[in-house]
């Protein structure tokens, strides 16, 4: 076994690998960019090496610097994590040439599966079912149209070297084929330096289901069941689960056996994933093979009880797999939600900055420890409270993983875990994840890869997070206010005869963006450590089991446990539960009457300003003072978290001044331009 290994990655996956390595008694070396000097993975590792400036191509993608760090620290092996250089055949080969061990597949296996055209041909040779299509390079739009007509619309145009949704278009007619062919070639050339594209049949209402495989250097290969990854937004996975609620045992076995056949065809020696697209009739077709550890690997670990990182290390060290296919269990149900630093209410724009508060739910299971009986909660993360979310890398804050006895139990556990996840300082997609988990289509298991586009065609808004019991949120606000009043009444030094009086009758006031007020009478009566809270004629008994000094609050209502977030923001109580949020002012009846007479202060008119919609780097300003612009014309470009956001004029106008300079780091809502 290795004595020391280097992790050529950052963030949560670097922390994840370090945990297993530590349990196995292997020393660890972290690499970091200048932006990650204070990152969590650096403090967790035994040693660390700075490998360059913040941009990825000068640090985490700089193979020469990583190899120099290996020599400097005398490591024996390198774990690449996922992303960055994890599927780079040249990097894996150079590691091997240095006399080190690449903890992943051999470079020849990466090369065989990295080219999608070659991978399709290899899959067909291994008798793996593939989507009808054209496996050779297409040279012209005319040829693309002819092939599309031969296959039959709709078709998918894909870059051979593509990934992450880049270089991919769906065409429903000849014109879309011509446009898609040109767009894919251009995007592939810019993203991967390879403009080859191919065409295959587009499967309508497809599901994305993948098989986890594991092979060793002794010819053994097994599959570790499947993962359902159909809940995606713009080809990026959001929720993953294992097993799939859709396929039958026969389909599961057939997919697993084909995945193993493909892995054996390329002499695969590590953990890898064979991805399939599955049609409504459970017909399945090979999509691609990911020759690395997947982001969503924890759900497989939950249902099998295996540590995939440990298995990768043991295989890389030359050990045989310690189990056969028939030995692999499938217990319970696991779900994973990717918690990202993005604002779902601003079209999912990246959100960077300091984590003012970061309180994940209590963990009851960990990657490198045995699975607890009956399930639990796991958080894989690379951040900490007070740390920074930098603009240079992906937006992931954490992976929230739950394991339950069945699918309904796992969904219930995940909703509770999301309720308990406190993040302040940056925006997160927790509200969107909560809405997805509550959607009837998701709960029933009736969904496909078009689920989000179908149910959220206009994007996401607070109105799309309905609460099962709106009065419960008001009850929490009323009880919290009564608790606060009781605490204030205990303050010493009050003037005799003028002590604070605590009433039981209150009014909860909600005000929308247009100033429309909604008043609801609430009665809160204390007794025996709980409150009898009456809202809209219904009385419920509510008890807090955690102090309200923390944002995360636990309690019981009518004997049923709950977890919610209660925060005092100015004169409001901000209540968050199951993704829904209210800002309620809780007043006495007289105070509510007087408050209703106060004029509504409308937000300022910002139509004459171009504001930065997200924190990021101002990569370009396309206009100058005095210049006339037309609606739709490009004004500026902001870069953040591998994403380029082009800002365009919403109406005709004349630029009065440019308030920010190219290369400047912008805060959210910072003024970039002002119009006359």
pLDDT for the residue 349: 84
Looking at the structure, do residues 626 and 578 belong to the same domain, yes or no? no
374, part of any domain = yes
> Within a domain: residue 111?
no
What confidence score (pLDDT) does residue 163 get? Answer: 62
Within a domain: residue 115? no
- Cβ–Cβ < 8 Å for 340, 295: no
Please indicate, yes or no, if residue 157 is contained in any of the structural domains: yes
> Do 220 and 287 fall within a single domain?
yes
Structural domain contains residue 116: no
Q: What is the pLDDT of residues 582-603, one digit of tens each?
A: 999 999 999 999 999 998 888 8
| Residue 189: both structure tokens together | 């050339």
Same domain flag for 320 and 340 = no
Helix residue ranges, H only, 306-462: 308-316, 407-420, 430-438, 440-444, 451-455
pLDDT (tens digit per residue) in 298-315: 999 999 999 999 999 999
Given a cut of 70, the residues of the chain with pLDDT beneath it are 162-166, 191, 642-643
Is 288 considered catalytic here?
yes
> Looking at the structure, do residues 615 and 576 belong to the same domain, yes or no?
no
419 and 507: one domain? no
Total domains present in the chain: 6
Looking at the fold, whether 368 and 316 belong to one and the same domain comes out as: no
List the CATH number of the domain containing 185.
3.30.1490.20
**Cβ proximity of 641 and 341 under 8 Å:** yes
434 and 514 inside one domain = no
Q: List the CATH number of the domain containing 634.
A: 2.40.50.100
Would you state the structure tokens that stand for residue 588, as one six-digit string? 């006495």
Of 539, 571, 595, the domain-final residue: 595
Q: Is residue 298 part of a domain?
A: yes
> For residues 587 and 197, what is the distance between their CA atoms, to the nearest angstrom?
64
The predicted pLDDT at position 164 comes to 56
Instruction: Please choose, from the candidates 674, 675, 670, 661, the residue with its C-alpha nearest in 3D space to the C-alpha of residue 613.
Output: 670
Dump strand ranges (E) for 91-165: 101-102, 133-134, 155-163
Q: Pick the catalytic residue: 210, 288, 296, 567?
A: 288
Contact in structure between 581 and 512 (CB atoms under 8 Å):
no
Which of 180, 201, 222 is the last residue before a domain boundary?
Answer: 201
> Does 215 map to a domain?
yes
How much is the pTM?
A: 0.87
Cα-flanking dihedrals φ and ψ of residue 600, to 5°? -80, 130
Angle between helices 107-114 and 89-97 (to 10 degrees): 170
What Rg, from alpha-carbon coordinates, does the chain have?
28
Check which CATH number belongs to the domain holding 58 and give it. 3.40.50.20
Q: Can you give the pLDDT at residue 609?
A: 92
β-strand pairing of 77-79 with 4-7: parallel
Please name the helix (run of DSSP H) or strand (run of DSSP E) that holds residue 645, with its range, or none. Answer: strand 643-648
Instruction: Looking at the structure, tell me whether residues 86 and 99 fall in a common domain.
Output: yes
Is 512 found in the same domain as 454?
no
- Same-domain pairing of 344 and 444: yes
Query: 192 and 219 in one domain?
Result: no
Q: 124 lies in a domain?
A: no
CATH of the domain at 318: 3.30.470.20
What 8-state DSSP symbol labels residue 602? P
Give the closest residue to 131 by CA, choosing from 115, 155, 149, 165: 155
pLDDT for 144: 93
Residue 162 is predicted with a pLDDT of 67
Which of 551, 573, 595 is at the close of a domain? Answer: 595
Same domain for 227 and 191: no
Q: What is the crossing angle of helices 407-420 and 430-438, to 10°? A: 150
Domain that holds residue 296: 206-331
300, 227 in Cβ contact below 8 A?
yes
């Amino acid at each position: 076994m290795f004595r020391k290994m280097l992790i050529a990655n950052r963030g949560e996956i670097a922390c994840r690998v370090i945990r297993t390595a530590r349990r196995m008694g292997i020393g660890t070396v972290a690499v970091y960019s200048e932006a990650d000097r204070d990152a969590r993975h650096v403090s967790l590792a035994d040693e660390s090496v700075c490998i360059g400036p913040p941009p990825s191509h000068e640090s985490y993608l700089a193979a020469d610097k990583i190899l120099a760090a290996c020599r400097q620290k005398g490591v024996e092996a390198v774990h690449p994590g996922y992303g960055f250089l994890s599927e780079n055949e040249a990097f894996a080969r150079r590691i091997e040439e240095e006399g080190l061990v690449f903890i992943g597949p051999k470079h020849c296996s990466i090369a065989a599966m990295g080219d999608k055209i070659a991978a399709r041909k290899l899959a067909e040779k291994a008798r793996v079912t593939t989507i009808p299509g054209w496996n050779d390079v297409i040279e012209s739009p005319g040829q693309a149209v002819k092939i599309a007509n031969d296959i039959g619309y709709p078709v998918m145009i894909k870059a051979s070297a593509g990934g992450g949704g880049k270089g991919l278009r769906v065409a429903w007619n000849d014109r879309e084929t011509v446009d898609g062919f040109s767009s894919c070639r251009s995007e592939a050339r810019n993203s991967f330096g390879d403009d080859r594209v191919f065409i295959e049949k587009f499967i309508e209402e497809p599901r994305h289901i993948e098989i986890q495989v594991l092979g060793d250097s002794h010819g053994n290969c097994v599959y570790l069941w499947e993962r359902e990854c159909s809940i995606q937004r713009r080809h990026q996975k959001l929720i993953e689960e294992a097993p799939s609620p859709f396929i039958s045992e026969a389909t599961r076995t057939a997919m697993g056996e084909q995945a193993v056949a493909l892995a054996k065809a390329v002499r695969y020696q590590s953990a890898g994933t064979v991805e399939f697209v599955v049609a409504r009739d459970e017909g399945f077709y090979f999509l691609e093979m990911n020759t690395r550890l997947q982001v969503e690997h924890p759900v497989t670990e939950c249902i099998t009880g295996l540590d995939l990182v440990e298995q990768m290390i043991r295989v890389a060290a030359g050990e045989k797999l310690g189990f056969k296919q028939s030995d692999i269990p499938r217990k319970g149900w696991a779900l994973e939600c990717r918690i990202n630093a993005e604002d779902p209410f601003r079209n999912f724009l990246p959100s960077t900055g300091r984590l003012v508060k970061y309180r994940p739910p209590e963990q009851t299971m960990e990657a490198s420890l045995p699975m607890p009986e009956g399930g639990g909660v796991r958080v894989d993360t690379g951040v900490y409270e007070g740390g920074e979310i930098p603009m240079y890398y992906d937006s992931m804050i954490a992976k929230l993983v739950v394991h339950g006895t069945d699918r309904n139990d796992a969904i219930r556990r995940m909703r509770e875990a999301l309720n308990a996840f406190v993040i302040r300082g940056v925006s997160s997609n927790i509200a969107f994840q909560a809405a997805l988990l509550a959607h009837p289509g998701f709960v029933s298991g009736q969904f496909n890869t078009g689920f989000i586009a179908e149910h959220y065609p206009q994007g996401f808004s607070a109105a799309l997070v309905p609460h099962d019991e709106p009065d419960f949120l008001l009850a929490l606000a009323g009880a919290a206010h009564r608790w606060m009043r009781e605490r204030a009444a205990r303050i010493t030094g009050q003037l005799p005869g003028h002590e604070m009086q605590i009433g039981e009758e209150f009014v909860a006031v909600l005000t929308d963006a247009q100033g429309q007020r909604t008043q609801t009478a609430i009665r809160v009566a204390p007794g025996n450590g709980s409150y009898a809270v009456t809202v809209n004629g219904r009385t419920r008994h509510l008890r807090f089991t955690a102090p309200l000094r923390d944002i995360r609050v636990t309690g019981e209502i009518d004997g049923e446990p709950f977890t919610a977030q209660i925060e005092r923001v100015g004169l409001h109580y901000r209540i968050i539960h199951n993704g829904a949020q209210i800002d309620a002012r809780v007043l006495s009846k007289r105070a509510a009457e007087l408050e209703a007479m106060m004029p509504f202060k409308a937000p300022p008119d910002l139509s004459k300003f171009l504001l930065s919609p997200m924190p990021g780097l101002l990569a370009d300003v396309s206009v100058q003072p005095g210049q006339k612009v037309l609606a739709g014309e490009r004004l500026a470009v902001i870069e953040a978290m591998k994403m380029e956001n082009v800002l365009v004029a919403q109406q005709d106008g004349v630029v009065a001044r440019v308030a920010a300079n190219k290369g400047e780091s912008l805060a959210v809502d910072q003024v970039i331009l002002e119009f006359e």
